[in-house]
């Protein structure tokens, strides 16, 4: 039987610009293969070949999706093998992780050098145009966040903080029971991202195997992220391993916590990642009902409607700019793809697979 597959993001197109959590995502691995070099779509194709090669083995596989186009991969982690493969353009120009062996893979070996030189020379203006569009998109996201701050204020001003603190402490006492005495392992990721097609999230995939799922409902400013931060801190104090998932729009905000040892997740289940209970073990926690002054929605309905309309308009503008980036990048990548030698790319994939076979007892991790 094939192993579990987890999907998430390590980077985000956010109100703070292109924000990365790769150092946390890759921390603790024994070996990381870094694919370096300009290749158009070649790196994601290489990662796709690797994913297909490992599709039926019993490793738990982490598929790290590209933040602009989530249909492409920019990294893979083989959990039990403690090995990662990552696009060097996505992670770091000078990759360093304490205690981790870094193996550089030069994808230029799969490129026809003369065609590559032509591609690099012919796409300078397009690269500059993409940089400008990204800058405008991030500025638009920041303006959208400031509008969101206006929206939050209605609920922050009507928040019963004692009730909010009680919700947090009651949850910790009921659920955060250490399974053994140890230090906590903390990992930070993104559950979703603002892509060229809009918001995408992997909450169902990330929580599907868990016994208990807490769907937190509420409004902007009703204390969801603050609660998650307090719970994450409390879990660390109690020695409970925690996967912390940051908001793909505002990376200073948290959207989900997963406690693998407890088979437990608690997450913000409001737009743009709204989900609903569907099985035993699912529970709704509505912080609006429990901690916001009754009648707040009705008292400020007109003002909130106007803010929501502005927020939606600016968010659409931000996504449209990312869509323009995607369109131009596709044109650029066509030039680079022409330089790709498919046979050489297949050979490169085989070399990585062979090195990983040498690093691991693959037969013990693969179904007979």
pLDDT at residue 285 greater than cutoff 80: yes
pLDDT at residue 205 greater than cutoff 90: yes
pLDDT score recorded for residue 286: 98
Residues 99 and 170 reside in one and the same domain: no
- Given 292, 318, 352, which residue is the final one in a domain? 292
pLDDT range class, residue 1, cuts 50, 70, 90: low
Q: Into how many domains does the chain fold?
A: 2
Residue 83 lies in a domain: yes
Residues 200-209 have a mean pLDDT of 98
pLDDT at residue 365 greater than cutoff 60: no
Residue 315 lies in a domain: no
pLDDT score recorded for residue 363: 46
Residues 199 and 285 reside in one and the same domain: yes
Residues 163 and 266 reside in one and the same domain: yes
**Alpha carbons 45 and 171: distance in angstroms, whole number:** 44
- Given 255, 275, 292, which residue is the final one in a domain? 292
Strand partners, 266: 214, 257
Residues 208-229 have a mean pLDDT of 97
pLDDT score recorded for residue 362: 62
pLDDT at residue 287 greater than cutoff 90: yes
Residues 268 and 171 reside in one and the same domain: yes
Residue 332 lies in a domain: no
Residues 206-214 have a mean pLDDT of 98
Residues 167 and 288 reside in one and the same domain: yes
Residue 78 lies in a domain: yes
pTM of the model: 0.95
Residues 241-260 have a mean pLDDT of 98
Residues 34-44 have a mean pLDDT of 89
* 160: DSSP letter: -
Residue 23 lies in a domain: yes
Residues 180 and 269 reside in one and the same domain: yes
Strand partners, 9: 65, 190
CA angle 273, 258, 74 (to 5 degrees): 70
214: domain range?
A: 159-292
Residues 282 and 357 reside in one and the same domain: no
Residues 56 and 173 reside in one and the same domain: no
Q: Is the Cβ–Cβ distance between 156 and 291 less than 8 Å?
A: no
* Long-range pairs, 146-151, Cβ under 8 A, ≥24: 147/307, 147/310, 147/311, 147/314, 148/220, 148/250, 148/311, 150/307, 151/220, 151/221, 151/304, 151/307, 151/308, 151/311
pLDDT at residue 200 greater than cutoff 90: yes
pLDDT score recorded for residue 366: 46
Residues 172 and 287 reside in one and the same domain: yes
pLDDT range class, residue 76, cuts 50, 70, 90: very high
pLDDT score recorded for residue 277: 97
Each residue's pLDDT tens digit, 117-175: 887 788 889 999 999 999 999 999 999 999 999 999 999 999 999 999 999 999 999 99
Query: To the nearest whole percent, how much of the chain has pLDDT over 90?
Result: 86
**Alpha carbons 45 and 346: distance in angstroms, whole number:** 10
Residue 239 lies in a domain: yes
Residues 220-232 have a mean pLDDT of 97
Residues 190 and 254 reside in one and the same domain: yes
pLDDT range class, residue 40, cuts 50, 70, 90: confident
Residues 25 and 88 reside in one and the same domain: yes
**Alpha carbons 202 and 120: distance in angstroms, whole number:** 35
**Alpha carbons 80 and 100: distance in angstroms, whole number:** 15
Q: Give me the helices (H) in the chain, please.
A: 22-26, 42-53, 88-91, 113-122, 124-156, 161-175, 203-207, 224-237, 287-291, 296-299, 301-337, 342-359, 362-365
Residue 316 lies in a domain: no
**What is the average pLDDT score of the chain?**
94
Residue 355 lies in a domain: yes
Residues 96 and 191 reside in one and the same domain: no
Residue among 108, 47, 107 at smallest CA distance from 72? 47
- Given 292, 315, 331, which residue is the final one in a domain? 292
pLDDT range class, residue 368, cuts 50, 70, 90: very low
């Amino acid at each position: 039987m094939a192993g579990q597959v987890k999907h998430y993001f390590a980077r985000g197109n956010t109100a703070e610009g292109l924000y990365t959590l790769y150092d946390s995502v890759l921390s603790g691995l024994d070996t990381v293969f870094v694919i370096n070099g300009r290749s158009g779509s070649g790196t994601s194709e290489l990662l796709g070949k690797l994913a297909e090669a490992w599709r039926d083995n019993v490793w738990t596989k982490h598929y790290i999706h590209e933040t602009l186009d989530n249909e492409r991969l920019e990294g893979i982690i083989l959990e039990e093998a403690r090995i990662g493969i990552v696009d060097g353009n996505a992670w770091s120009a000078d990759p360093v992780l304490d205690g981790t062996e870094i193996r550089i893979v030069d994808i230029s070996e799969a490129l026809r050098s003369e065609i590559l030189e032509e591609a690099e020379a012919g796409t300078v203006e397009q690269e500059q145009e993409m940089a400008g569009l990204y800058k405008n998109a991030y500025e638009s996201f920041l303006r959208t966040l400031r509008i969101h701050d206006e929206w939050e204020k209605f609920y922050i001003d009507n928040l019963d903080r004692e009730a909010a603190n009680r919700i947090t402490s009651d949850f910790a006492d009921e659920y955060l029971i250490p399974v053994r005495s140890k230090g906590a392992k903390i990992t930070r990721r993104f559950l979703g991202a603002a892509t060229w097609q809009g918001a995408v999230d992997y909450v169902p995939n990330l929580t599907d195997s868990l016994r208990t799922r807490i769907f937190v409902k509420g409004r902007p400013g009703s204390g969801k992220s603050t609660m998650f931060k307090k719970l994450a801190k409390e879990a660390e104090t109690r020695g409970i391993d925690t996967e912390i998932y940051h908001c793909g729009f505002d990376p200073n905000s948290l959207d989900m916590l997963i406690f693998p040892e407890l088979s437990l997740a608690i997450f913000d289940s409001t737009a743009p990642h709204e989900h609903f209970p569907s099985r035993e073990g699912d529970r709704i926690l509505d912080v609006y009902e429990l901690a916001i002054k009754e009648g707040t929605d009705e008292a400020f309905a007109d003002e909130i409607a106007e803010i929501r309309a502005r927020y939606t308009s600016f968010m659409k503008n931000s996504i449209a700019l990312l869509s323009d980036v995607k369109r131009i990048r596709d044109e650029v990548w066509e030039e680079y793809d022409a330089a790709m030698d498919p046979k050489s790319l297949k050979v490169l994939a085989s070399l990585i697979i062979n090195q990983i076979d040498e690093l691991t007892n693959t037969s013990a991790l693969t179904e007979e």
